[in-house]
């Protein structure tokens, strides 16, 4: 039997679970440079689902696709260490400022270029935005059906895919046709660890933008071992309309950003009076804690 062609969509995200005081710049924007960059957790759950299908259906090929700056190639290497076959980095300043719609447009155009995909698997959402939108929007742009909130891809054979979904108040098993977009919940099994053999094989895997300062020997190594070259596409490598990209392709705009947590953690002592309770409620409403 012929294996499946799977693309896993992954994102490198700032680790918002470990945000320190220096995480915000004076102007209220996020200082991404000081936050550790990690493989988005649910995208790892997605990768594990792909790896399980590869275990089950020999000949399956797993490609990681990520969009981001040059350093996002780190998560492609991480994916290779865990058993993915290859990866692509979609990187261009033209993508900067993209909201979920412009992001899904760029990603779907890259997926169209790849072609012949059976399953696209992504994490349900990324921890820096928590929107859960890119998966379904990619599906719509490719005119693929979608199965979100997946916990287990039970099988994917003879053109049919069966998926168990975890919803707020229960579970559901659905059957659909391939090609299909599946987004995976954190309740799915954790991703397997790195495989020592793959770490040895791929530790020098690099994207083009990481090779800028490489010496001749390093370039020669990559010429001799093509699998060490992580594919990198700029806006010129995929077919796009400029007005659909970046800020101009984004219907949503950020009007204002407010920093809510980094206030002094010293208790404010209030008296049980009408005046103090009034002040408390006004504060809680103003900082969007309630109301």
Partner 1 sequence: MNNVFVYCEIEEGKIADVSLELLTKGRSLADDLKCDLEAVVIGADLKGVEKQIIPFGVDTVWMADDKRLYPYTTLPHTSIIVKLFQEEKPQIALMGATSIGRDLGPRVSSALHSGLTADCTSLVIGDHEDKKNNKEYKDLLYQIRPAFGGNIVATIINPDCRPQMATVREGVMKKEIRSEAYKGKVKNIEVEKYLNSEDFVVKVIERHMEKSKVNIKNAGIIVAGGYGVGSKENFEKLAELAHVIGGEVGASRAAVDAGYASHERQIGQTGVTVRPKLYIACGISGQIQHTAGMEESSMVIAINTDKNAPINNFADYVITGDIADVIPKMIKKYKENTK
Q: With binding defined as CB under 8 A, does residue 171 bind partner 1?
A: yes
Report 89-108 residues binding partner 1 (CB under 8 A): 99-101, 104
Query: 201 - beta bridge partners?
Result: none
Q: Is the dihedral of CA 144, 147, 151, 152 positive or negative?
A: negative
Retrieve residue 124's tokens: 């349900």
d(CA 117, CA 179): 7
* Nearer Cβ to partner 1 (174/219): 174
Only segment of 44-52, 90-98, 135-143, 199-207 that touches partner 1 (CB under 8 A): 135-143
In a 3-state reduction of DSSP, which class is residue 94?
helix
In this structure, the strands spanning 229-233 and 146-157 are unpaired
Residue 124 CB, nearest approach to partner 1 (Å): 8
**Element containing residue 172 per DSSP (H, E):** strand 170-177
Residues sharing a CB contact under 8 Å with residue 154, sequence separation 6 or more, in sequence order = 162, 163, 164, 173
Q: With binding defined as CB under 8 A, does residue 260 bind partner 1?
A: yes
Q: With binding defined as CB under 8 A, does residue 243 bind partner 1?
A: no
Only segment of 55-63, 67-75, 79-87, 261-269 that touches partner 1 (CB under 8 A): 261-269
Using CB under 8 A as the criterion, what x/- string covers residues 202-221 for binding partner 1?
A: --------------------
Report 269-288 residues binding partner 1 (CB under 8 A): 269-274, 276-278, 280-282, 284-285, 287-288
Residue 283 CB, nearest approach to partner 1 (Å): 9
């Amino acid at each position: 039997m012929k294996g499946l062609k799977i693309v896993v969509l992954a994102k490198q995200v700032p680790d918002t679970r470990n945000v320190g005081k220096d995480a915000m710049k004076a102007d209220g924007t996020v200082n991404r440079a000081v936050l550790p960059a990690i493989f988005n957790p649910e995208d790892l759950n997605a990768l594990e689902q792909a790896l399980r299908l590869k275990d089950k259906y020999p000949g399956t090929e797993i490609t990681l696709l990520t969009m981001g700056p040059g350093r996002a190639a780190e998560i492609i290497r991480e994916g290779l260490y865990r058993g993915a076959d290859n990866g692509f980095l979609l990187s261009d300043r033209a993508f900067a400022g993209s909201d979920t719609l412009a992001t899904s447009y760029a990603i779907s155009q890259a997926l169209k270029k790849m072609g012949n995909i059976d399953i696209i698997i992504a994490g349900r959402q990324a921890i820096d935005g928590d929107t859960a939108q890119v998966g379904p929007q990619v599906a719509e742009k490719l005119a693929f059906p979608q199965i979100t909130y997946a916990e287990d891809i039970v099988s994917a054979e003879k053109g049919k895919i069966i998926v168990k979904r975890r919803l707020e108040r229960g579970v559901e098993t659905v059957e659909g046709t391939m090609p299909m977009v599946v987004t995976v919940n954190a309740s799915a099994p954790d991703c397997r660890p790195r495989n020592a053999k793959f770490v040895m094989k791929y530790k020098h895997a690099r994207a083009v933008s990481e090779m800028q300062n490489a010496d001749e020997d390093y370039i020669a190594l990559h010429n001799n071992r093509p699998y060490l070259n992580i594919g990198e596409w700029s806006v010129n490598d995929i077919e796009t309309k400029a007005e659909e990209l970046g800020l101009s392709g984004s219907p949503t705009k950020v009007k204002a950003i407010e920093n809510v947590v980094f206030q002094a953690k010293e208790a404010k002592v209030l008296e049980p009076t009408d005046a103090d309770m009034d002040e408390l409620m006004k504060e809680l409403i103003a900082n969007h804690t309630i109301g």
